Amino acid sequence: MAPNPDYQSIQAHEIHSTSAVWSEAHKTKMWEHFVQKFATVQSRFPAPLDRFGAEGKDKMEQVVMGFIDRRAPITLVLPSFPFKSPNTIDKVLGKLPDRAEELAMERLENFCAQVEEVYSPGCKMVIFSDGRVFNDLLGVDLCDLYAFEDELKAMVKDAGYTHINFDSLDNYVKNVADPIPEILERFDLMHMDFNVRIKTEPAIRNTYCSFCKFLERDLALQWAGMSRSAVKRNCGKIAKQMMHRNVGFSALADDSYADALRISIHQYNNAGP
């Protein structure tokens, strides 16, 4: 795709010249181009539930302008793509990446490439797999998890994509066989009472309910023959464990990518961190 003609002079005389001084107006145009392209991949709630305009946009601008000021590649980190759902009956077709992941990778690559049309230092997307955070809770074998990761990387490589990188929890722990306790201890998160938080914090309660709903369908094969109350009880137990682990993984992602723009694959009100 050809560069935006409005920014030809910026690229030719400023971005490609390390000695040139970027004016504040040109920096602003780069930011505006970024947020315009980001809108093409952003999920939005209807107003007034969506908080991007009121809160999230300003926070995003601070992060992106930090990269622009340093003339560094704009880095986004996306914790996602752990493995396929274990429900292969009515949710997914198999255990390996398929057309869904292919379209997702294409969309992420195109977004980064479009940002780079104007901002030549570049834009990169880091997919930080959270598969090791939850796989045992969902009954996903490590061999299936690693097969999914390998196939996803091969998909990106075969497509010739150059803006997508991968990271994993395994890269940050000594005990790869059991990484969660190490992460929770590192960030002093071993002891958290989610029973109290679910009762007293509406946002936490909403997340808990969402996790329970997700688990009912994802683990449908496991629940076969159980009573409704037993399914609800087991989903609640696993949901609390997932939430606890997710706090640790989020702390790791924030610590490892302190300057990056953190985004989510889940629908969110876009208020920012």
Q: Nearest 5°: CA angle at 159, between 155 and 164?
A: 75
Q: What is the pLDDT of residues 181-213, one digit of tens each?
A: 999 999 999 998 899 999 999 889 988 999 999
Across 245-260, average pLDDT = 95
Is 159 a member of any domain?
Answer: yes
Closest to 73 in 3D by CA, of 9, 37, 3, 120: 120
pTM: 0.86
> 2 in a domain, yes or no?
no
Q: Which tokens go with 137?
A: 């809770």
Domain count, the chain: 1
What pLDDT sits at residue 10?
33
Q: Token pair of 190, please?
A: 């071993």
CA of 97: how far to CAs of 82, 94, 148, 205, 263, in Å? Answer: 10, 8, 6, 32, 21
Range of the domain at 111: 36-169+178-262
Residue 4: pLDDT over 80: no
The answer to whether position 31 is within a domain reads: no
Q: Is residue 64 part of a domain?
A: yes
> In this structure, is residue 24 part of a structural domain?
no
Over residues 156-174, the mean pLDDT reads 96
pLDDT, residue 14, reads: 39
Residues 35-64 have pLDDT tens digits of 999 999 988 777 778 788 888 899 999 999
Tell which wins on pLDDT, 265 or 73: 73
For residue 132, pLDDT beyond 90 = yes
Whether residue 3 is predicted with pLDDT greater than 80 in this model: the reply is no
- Average pLDDT for the chain: 89
pLDDT of residue 53: 82
pLDDT at 5: 38
Does position 31 have pLDDT exceeding 90, yes or no?
A: yes
pLDDT at 76 over 90: yes
Does any domain span residue 66? Answer: yes
H or E element, residue 165? strand 164-168
Q: Please check whether residue 27 lies inside any domain of the structure.
A: no
Q: Identify whether 270 is part of a domain.
A: no
What pLDDT digit, counting tens, does each position of 136-160 carry? 999 999 999 999 999 999 999 999 9
Cβ(182)–Cβ(144) below 8 Å: no
Residue 131 has pLDDT above 90, yes or no: yes
